[in-house]
Structure 1
Amino acid sequence: MTALGAVFRPQLPPERLRGIARAADEAGLEELWLWEDCFLESGIATASAALAWTERLRVGVGLLPVPLRNVALTAMEAATLDRLFPERVVLGVGHGVQDWMGQVGARAESPVTLLREYLEALRALLRGERVTTDGRYVKLDGVALDWPPAAALPVLAGAVGPRSLRLTGEAADGTILDASMSPDAVRNARRLIDEGREAAGRTGPHKIVVYLHTATGPGAAERLKAELADGNGGSTELGVAGDAGTIAQFVERLAAAGADTVVLQPTPDEPDPEGFVRFVAEKVRPLVP
């Protein structure tokens, strides 16, 4: 079954999160996803609050920028969240926006090398291993978590380019694809991820999460058009506007292309964020196999 989620966009003030998370939980939404975009809101702080305010909602952080965060700190925070809220945390990491990383003096000369080293160390730490490594970017000397997750917490990685997509197949437990990908692009991404998995001899499950620009209600088509015109070339394959049936059909296209989870991403000017998460859970979910 295709899992369905929605995004709490960090362009909303932090104080809006409580109402939206509770609305999502009460409506039966499967997953609420948060972003650590510079310089808006912390992914870990918002995730911990959303988890505490809800009972069953899974909360995804997609994603934490690895140049910004020491891997031991990320492991500590992720393990703490998972032990506080078992089986409700979905963790994603990635390159981060390079311009933002440059602003804080954390831009890596080789983002792919950094992400590879980071994923290897982070996954080992979350498995409860003691890690010593002296990489180009990641350096640990006998580091182990005193409170690792009770069971290894899967680590997803965001990717767009071919090298990064193959890397997620080799070194991550899943891949997050942003809303810039059409169904055909998702299908190609899945192929590249599988190439990386094959090269690394990996045969276990690999979850693929795909964001989808989505608008519904009054002015939906106009709001989506404005969103897609801002850096997305205006392609109609990168988003969907309309009623629950129309949106569910697009979700099914992404699922057929290889998505395991589709996360509906509202427009920045969505007039009713609480209503949006209820719509996803109560209207779209029943129509998606």
Structure 2
Amino acid sequence: MTAVDEARGRLGKVGVVLMTPIAPAEDWRRAAKRVEEAGYGTIWLNEAIGGREVFSQMSVMLAATDRIVVGSAIANLWARHPAAMQGAAAVLGDAYPGRLALGVGVSMGAIVEQSGQKWASPLTKMREYLDGMDTSASAAPVPDIPFPRLVAALGPKMQELARDRADGALPAAMPVEHTKATRERLGQDKLLVVMQTAILGTDPEKARGIARSTQMLAMPGSPYLRSLKTLGYEDAALADGGSDEVIDACFNWGDETAIVKRIHDHLDAGADHVGVTVFAPDLPSAAAQYERLAPFLL
């Protein structure tokens, strides 16, 4: 069975993104266990450069749980040598068979420059990095159950690279028409994991304010901005943090029923799995947010 087939059987249709504090680790363990008990298929974790190192996070959460898949969305390729990426993933895949998903991404120029490195062409960097991972694979363990390697891919060229050199693509924060176009580009044999946000709240002004506070469209060199332009959104609609139309397309807000419909729209458009980041200021923890949504999403 291929990594894609294995992943489709294990990820579940909906997973969660846990953006936990750096410490204490016991908070990570507790949150991971609560999410698993709520019935979700996968926990996704992210990484910039430094701070929350993603493989350390994944190992803590894998050890604290029994069955749930834990994935990186993303493991930042600027944070480690490609041989270290391959080796770390292979060790976890071997230690926890069938419970690892590896999403690899190039991050953004501002984050890379801040770390003291020189930004380079994302497409070239990713292609060379995947070469390095493949070259080093013979020195790493070979898990009994293959783990999927996904590429964080918003634009057409990166998605083509994900199709040709990986098990699939992992785009984030895009409208449902982007999901449909990505599936068409990948074909049916590749995995499509889509990251989406959910803002629990029915006040339009408040919900859109939370969405704009993420700075998704305001960050220098934002890849989300470029991708939205390819979908036909005009510069005026993308200025000042995004028009209401743009915010409503990229962020899922409303009550539980409204959010579930929007998430399922992405599944209907061709996503194999949707990883959900919930913003709910009135709830005390991320785990509480996912517990509240579980009866609706699952």
- C-alpha contact 2:98 2:146 (8 A) present in aligned 1: no
CA RMSD of aligned residues (A): 2.3
Per-residue CA deviation, residues 129-150 of structure 1 (Å, 9 max, x unaligned), is 3xxxxxxxxxxxxxx22x2322
Give unpaired runs (5+ residues) of structure 1.
130-143, 195-203
Match of 2:171? 177
**Match of residue 255, structure 2, among 195, 218, 243:** 243
Q: Which moved more, 1:230-239 or 1:26-35?
A: 230-239
**Match of residue 101, structure 2, among 71, 80, 90:** 90
**Match of residue 8, structure 1, among 18, 24, 28:** 18
Distance 2:280 2:23 in 1: 15
Matched position secondary structure for 1:209: strand
Matched position secondary structure for 1:149: coil
- C-alpha contact 1:215 1:221 (8 A) present in aligned 2: no
- C-alpha contact 1:156 1:173 (8 A) present in aligned 2: yes
**Match of residue 31, structure 2, among 20, 35, 38:** 20
Match of 2:79? 68
Distance 1:49 1:76 in 2: 17
Does residue 264 in structure 1 map to residue 276 in structure 2? yes
Matched position secondary structure for 1:107: coil
Match of 1:213? 197
Match of 2:295? 282
Give unpaired runs (5+ residues) of structure 2.
1-7, 218-241
In the TM superposition, what is the alpha-carbon distance from 1:86 to its structure 2 partner? 0.8
Match of 2:179? 186
Distance 2:29 2:262 in 1: 29
In the TM superposition, what is the alpha-carbon distance from 1:186 to its structure 2 partner? 1.6
In the TM superposition, what is the alpha-carbon distance from 1:254 to its structure 2 partner? 0.6
Normalising by structure 2, we get a TM-score of: 0.78
Distance 1:148 1:59 in 2: 18
- C-alpha contact 2:280 2:289 (8 A) present in aligned 1: no
In the TM superposition, what is the alpha-carbon distance from 1:242 to its structure 2 partner? 3.0
Question: Amino acid of the residue matched to residue 169 of structure 1?
Answer: R
- C-alpha contact 2:202 2:254 (8 A) present in aligned 1: no
In the TM superposition, what is the alpha-carbon distance from 1:253 to its structure 2 partner? 0.9
Match of 2:235? none
Match of 1:200? none
Aligned residues: 256
**Match of residue 224, structure 1, among 207, 211, 221:** 207
Change (3 A) 1:105 1:148: farther
Change (3 A) 1:220 1:119: farther
- C-alpha contact 1:71 1:121 (8 A) present in aligned 2: yes
